[in-house]
């Protein structure tokens, strides 16, 4: 975290004049509003996809319950450790009577599918290292195959159950194609949100959208997988500066990642507020065991 923040501070010190000269037009503010809406929709959609993952593990999770739980817990990723949103989802699943093992596997599987979706989007452009991206993507896609994942789940469950009461094993019956496509939709919305931010700052100046989207996907994935950084703060920003510096003016790029972080955090806070409001003041008469 210290290294990435030092890198960002140094870059900002060199290019601060370019940043302060940026002006956002009325059309630009409209693009920023669209970016906020798309980011919020991405998180709502991701909660629905998480419920699909739970159902693929034989847990009767309703889509609405998955969305509300996801939105309420997602803001916790900004706590030190970058794991508390996962912990919150596991505990919420346990409170609903779902298998703790299945809930734990669901959050791990969700992160793996998100990483695979990010790599798929990164392959939209050859600006990234094609061979390395394909190798990483193949590794993730093979890793979530039931023939490999189920034995690993079984070994972990057996180690945990030594001397304890037997419980049904958690397993995947088929390859999680639908959840993978769902996570691809989530990353697509997040990427389009970032492009809307760049459009707000660039005005009428053209820029290479596909390479920027590809770089965004890689930077987002690094923010996801690097341990410890709350919400990927610092990791995402430093990765974007390193990957996109040749594609966008540095001042625009620095402003874009700053706006992105503000919009992303705001969308998560709004989502959590909407979820709490819905549960306390809206229609709470839904059954978590309803599969429709």
Q: Provide the whole-model pTM.
A: 0.83
Which two three-digit tokens encode residue 71? 């939105």
Report how far apart the first and last C-alpha atoms of the chain are (Å, whole number): 43
33 in a structural domain:
yes
231 in a structural domain:
yes
Print the domain residue range for 53. 2-11+23-162+169-279
Q: Tens of pLDDT along 47-88?
A: 999 999 999 888 888 989 999 999 999 988 888 777 888 899
Domain count, the chain: 1
289 in a structural domain:
no
What is the DSSP-derived secondary structure letter of residue 289?
T
DSSP 117-177: HHHHHHTTSTTS-HHHHHHHHHHHHHHTSHHHHHHHHHHHHHHHTTTS---PPP--SS--H
82 in a structural domain:
yes
81 in a structural domain:
yes
Q: Tens of pLDDT along 167-218?
A: 556 777 888 889 999 999 999 999 999 999 999 988 878 888 888 998 999 9
286 in a structural domain:
no
287 in a structural domain:
no
Q: Tens of pLDDT along 118-154?
A: 988 888 765 556 666 677 778 777 877 877 777 777 6
Which two three-digit tokens encode residue 89? 């989802």
CA-to-CA distance for 246 and 273, rounded, in angstroms? 39
193 in a structural domain:
yes
């Amino acid at each position: 975290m210290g290294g990435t923040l030092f890198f960002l501070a140094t870059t900002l010190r060199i290019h601060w004049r370019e940043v302060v000269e940026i002006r956002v037009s009325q059309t630009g503010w409209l693009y920023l509003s669209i970016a906020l809406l798309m980011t919020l929709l991405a998180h709502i959609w991701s909660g629905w996809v998480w419920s699909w993952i739970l159902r693929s593990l034989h847990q009767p999770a309703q889509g609405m319950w998955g969305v509300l739980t996801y939105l309420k817990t997602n803001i916790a990723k900004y706590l030190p450790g970058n794991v508390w949103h996962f912990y919150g989802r596991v505990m919420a699943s346990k409170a609903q009577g779902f298998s703790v093992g299945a809930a734990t596997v669901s959050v791990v599987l969700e992160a793996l599918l998100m990483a695979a979706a990010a790599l798929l989007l990164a392959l939209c452009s050859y600006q990234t290292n094609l061979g390395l991206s394909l190798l990483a993507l193949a590794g993730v896609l093979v890793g979530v195959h039931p023939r490999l994942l189920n034995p690993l789940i079984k070994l972990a469950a057996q180690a945990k159950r030594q001397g304890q009461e037997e419980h049904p094993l958690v397993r995947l019956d088929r390859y999680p194609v639908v959840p993978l496509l769902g996570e691809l939709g989530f990353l697509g919305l997040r990427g389009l949100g970032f492009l809307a931010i760049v459009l707000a700052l660039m005005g009428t100046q053209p820029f290479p959208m596909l390479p920027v989207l590809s770089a965004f996907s890689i930077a987002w994935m690094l923010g996801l997988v690097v341990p410890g950084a709350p919400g990927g703060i610092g990791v995402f920003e430093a990765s974007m500066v390193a990957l996109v510096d040749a594609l966008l003016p540095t001042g625009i790029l620095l402003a874009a990642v700053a706006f992105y972080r503000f919009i992303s955090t705001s969308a998560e806070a709004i989502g959590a507020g909407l979820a709490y409001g819905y549960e306390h003041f809206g229609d709470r008469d839904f059954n978590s065991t309803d599969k429709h």
